[in-house]
Amino acid sequence: MKLLNSKGLLIATTLLASVYTTNASADTADGLNVLVTSADHQTQLMAMVLSMQTIKAHNKKVNVLLCGPAGDLALKATETPKLKPQNVSPTMLLKKIMGMGASVEVCPLYLPNADKTTNELMDGITVAKPPKIAANLLNKDFQNLSY
């Protein structure tokens, strides 16, 4: 019986240490890298909501990379639908997080393959440089999310 209690104590201690380490890691992260590729507006909006909360509630840095169909969000001409329950759109929140200091870039493959130019990008959005993006994604002080 004593062996079983020791095993139980060992398991409980390991789980507690795991939870503590995970929470400590999240609290000490410098920010968030958010890679958005989805054309789905709900998915895009959730990426923007979590980005905004990262800046607003946690005072952390956010880097957003828009690729593939999500690259359309970077265009001045793009208007996405307002979604419930807050009646905001992905483009509305994208502009808001940019105003809060988020860095937003579009994948370098997006513009030439969408027959678009840098003149069509919203002010403040630039074309990503792969070495910089790779460094951001490998930065252990940032959490990475992909949508």
Backbone angles phi, psi at 64, to 5 degrees: -110, 135
Which pLDDT value is given to residue 6?
52
Rg of the chain over all Cα atoms, to the nearest angstrom: 19
Whole-prediction pTM value? 0.81
**How is residue 70 written in tokens?**
């999500």
Sorted by where each starts, the structural domains of the chain and their CATH numbers stand as: 29-146 (3.40.1260.10)
User: What pLDDT score does 40 carry?
Assistant: 98
Distance CA 65, CA 106 (A): 6
**Better-predicted residue by pLDDT, 145 or 1:** 145
